[in-house]
Amino acid sequence: MSNHDPVVDPTSRLSRRTLAMDASGIRRAFELGATLENPINLSIGQPDFPVPDAMKSAAIDAIQEDRNGYTVTQGIPALHESIRRHLAHDLGWSRDGDGYSTVVTSGTSGGLLLASLALLDEGDEAIMPDPWFVLYPQLGHLTGATMVACDTYPDFRMTAARVEPLISDRTKFVLVNSPGNPSGVVLTDDEMRDLAALCRDRGVQLVTDEIYDEFVFADSMRPDGTCPSPARFDHQALVIRGFGKTYGCTGWRLGYAAGPTWLVEQMRKLQQFTYVCAPSPLQWGVIEAFDIDNTAQVARYAERCQLVMEALSPHVDVVRPGGAFYAFFEVPPALGMTATEFMERAVERRVLLVPGGVFSGRDTHVRLSFAVDENVLREGLAILVDLLRGG
């Protein structure tokens, strides 16, 4: 390099959207974990049970039978038939797909991004819950729109009464997540019905992120054993679901979206020019997934949830989760520390958590994942209780 070469700031070559996005705070927890010896990792949102053998075999068979090329953009017909059959049973939608369409996506995150790209222009708005899943705010940076946060503290329920004041003439969609991440809260049928009615009356698209729809504890299920969903009350809602959490195959990156044809067709078009298609042999692997009974795994996680509640409830405010595998508890104000500071104290004791500022405009709560072995969970909870007592 000569003395006359100009000095270039590398960031000047980056887009504004890239610079506006911070790396996920969950990644920070992973990095801290890598520095610890024998960490107690209560940060990771990944099931700790193996993929069912039937799914493994179906995927392996597809690979060995050379079904490894591109599929059609929307996904293989056999999987669509399986999805429609499931939606007919679960939501009462038409089995033959009358009135709606489906698309197989690269995970639920892929579905959320495609929906946002299809619906949002610069200057538009979408309403999301606070606390939120880490992708939600970034959908604004990726599209040029504004993600408007709906404050759901202290009970983490995104109700119609909380959403309605936020709707403006720029609102394109409302995004609801139940069971919720990071809180595990499950909305009721009545709350879902009211939210669906509000969006329908105001002419706003409803997008429902239901990645944990089959990870609902018994006391939060509907009488027929299914997860409450606004899509039962509005068949024009866009439902986004996935296979990763329910069947322990998060790395397969498979989800699906179902909703009004006018919207799903545009999502298919966008997928053609981005993801192309979801992973081919793994699509074959999940065709029979809906026939696999995961009630034993969900019951085991409900027992872990009870362990968490019994340990933490005497010391902190924690809303009982109704599904998923998270608890989102408040750091007691008497400790005089933020959630990030509490997380750092926990790391000193080998416990990994995720501070609430990763999921929220507030840094007052901490997310704990109980997707770990019960003995590890008990050890971590004992340390957290000591910290909450000021130890």
CA gap 336, 387 in Å, rounded: 12
Confidence check: pLDDT of 20 > 90: no
Count of C-beta atoms within a 10 Å radius of residue 212:
28
Average pLDDT over residues 13-40: 77
* Environment class of 283 (CB within 10 Å of its CB; exposed 0-12, middle 13-18, buried 19+): buried
Tokens of 299: 């019951």
Side-chain half-sphere exposure of 286, counting CA atoms within 13 A: 29
In the CATH hierarchy, which fold is given to the domain comprising 11-50+294-388?
Answer: Aspartate Aminotransferase, domain 1 (3.90.1150)
22 band by pLDDT with thresholds 50, 70 and 90: confident
| Helices 135-143, 107-119: crossing angle, 10 deg rounding | 40
The gap from C-alpha 246 to its chain's centroid, in whole angstroms, comes to 12
Confidence check: pLDDT of 98 > 90: no
53 band by pLDDT with thresholds 50, 70 and 90: very high
> What is the full DSSP assignment across 346-371?
HHHTTEE-EEGGGTSS---EEEEE--
**Given this model, what pLDDT does residue 37 score?**
84
31 band by pLDDT with thresholds 50, 70 and 90: confident
Q: Do residues 286 and 356 lie in contact, with contact meaning Cβ atoms separated by under 8 Å?
A: no
Confidence check: pLDDT of 388 > 80: yes
Average pLDDT over residues 336-361: 95
* Environment class of 4 (CB within 10 Å of its CB; exposed 0-12, middle 13-18, buried 19+): exposed
Query: In a 3-state reduction of DSSP, which class is residue 167?
Result: coil
Cis peptide before 279 (omega within 30 of 0): no
Confidence check: pLDDT of 72 > 90: yes
Pairing status of strand 238-242 against strand 255-259: antiparallel
252 band by pLDDT with thresholds 50, 70 and 90: very high
Count of C-beta atoms within a 10 Å radius of residue 319:
20
In CATH, what number does 55-291 get? 3.40.640.10
Give the pLDDT confidence of 121-175 residue by residue, as tens digits.
Answer: 999 999 999 999 999 999 999 999 999 999 999 999 999 999 999 999 999 999 9
Report domain extents, the chain. Answer: 11-50+294-388, 55-291
Alpha helices per DSSP H over 7-52? 16-20, 25-34
Looking at residue 24, what DSSP letter applies?
P
φ/ψ region of 14 (left if φ > 0, alpha if ψ in -120 to 50, else beta) reads: beta
Q: Do residues 71 and 254 lie in contact, with contact meaning Cβ atoms separated by under 8 Å?
A: no
> What is the full DSSP assignment across 63-86?
HHTT--S---TT--HHHHHHHHHH
pLDDT over 70 percentage in the chain:
96
**Given this model, what pLDDT does residue 28 score?**
67
Confidence check: pLDDT of 240 > 90: yes
Mean pLDDT, the chain, whole residue set: 94
Pairing status of strand 40-41 against strand 146-151: unpaired
Q: Do residues 324 and 44 lie in contact, with contact meaning Cβ atoms separated by under 8 Å?
A: no
Q: Model's pTM, two decimal places?
A: 0.94
Confidence check: pLDDT of 32 > 80: no
Identify the bridge partners of residue 351 per DSSP, sorted by sequence position. Answer: 40
CA gap 287, 57 in Å, rounded: 12
**Given this model, what pLDDT does residue 278 score?**
97
More confident residue, 21 or 192: 192
In degrees, rounded to 5, the angle at the alpha carbon of residue 108 between the alpha carbons of residues 104 and 114 is 70
Give the pLDDT confidence of 196-211 residue by residue, as tens digits.
Answer: 999 999 999 999 999 9
Instruction: Please give the torsion angle defined by the CA atoms of residues 203, 209, 213 and 215, in that order, rounded to the nearest 10 degrees.
Output: -150
Average pLDDT over residues 256-272: 97
**Given this model, what pLDDT does residue 30 score?**
66
Average pLDDT over residues 45-61: 94
Which residues of 131-254 form beta strands (DSSP E)? 146-151, 171-177, 205-209, 238-242
Average pLDDT over residues 66-78: 97
Cis peptide before 332 (omega within 30 of 0): no
Tell me which residue of 139, 107, 387 sits closest to 271, measured CA to CA: 107
